[in-house]
Structure 1
Amino acid sequence: MANHQSAKKRIRQIQKRRLHNKYYAKTARNAVKTLRGTSEKEAAQELLPKVASMLDKLAKKNIIHKNKAANLKSKLTKHVNTL
């Protein structure tokens, strides 16, 4: 258990940041799942830039690794092109 005031504050900050990061990561995962489940090419092409932007923002803020974002974007682009 934390004894110093600064350590207690740091714990509060970490919990708040963790919830924030968890929310945005989950939102991006749902967007990726939606894009993968889309069977119409026009709808998928419309959704792809939004999902790619979301992944780039998460990678920029270190919520997900930049290589993971790149891999996901690559796979999603391949998926949309094969539709």
Structure 2
Amino acid sequence: MREMRAFYIAAASLTFAALAGCAIKPQVVSSSPRTVVIKAGDLFVQESQDLADQECRKHERYARLIEKPNPNSDQFVYDCVR
């Protein structure tokens, strides 16, 4: 009984840790007049778009998504276009 309780506590802890990693706020990794890279989980599509638009607006451009996160990456890549 005690071992099962410890197992459930460990499983719950791992689940919460994994979910916390997915909840990281989007942040700019790199920005240039032509490209913006945003680090964010794949659930933050709109938030990353808004952040990329803010960066591109500095150069009188708007952001166009060219790459979404995949199993090997947690980054959105945007082109800044006119």
Please indicate the TM-score interval, normalised by the length of the shorter structure: 0.3 to 0.5
Higher RCO, 1 or 2 (CA under 8 Å, sep at least 6)? 1
Greater strand share, 1 or 2? 2
Please, what TM-score do these two structures have when normalized by structure 2?
0.43
Which of 1 and 2 has greater Rg? 2
Greater helix share, 1 or 2? 1
Please, what TM-score do these two structures have when normalized by structure 1?
0.43
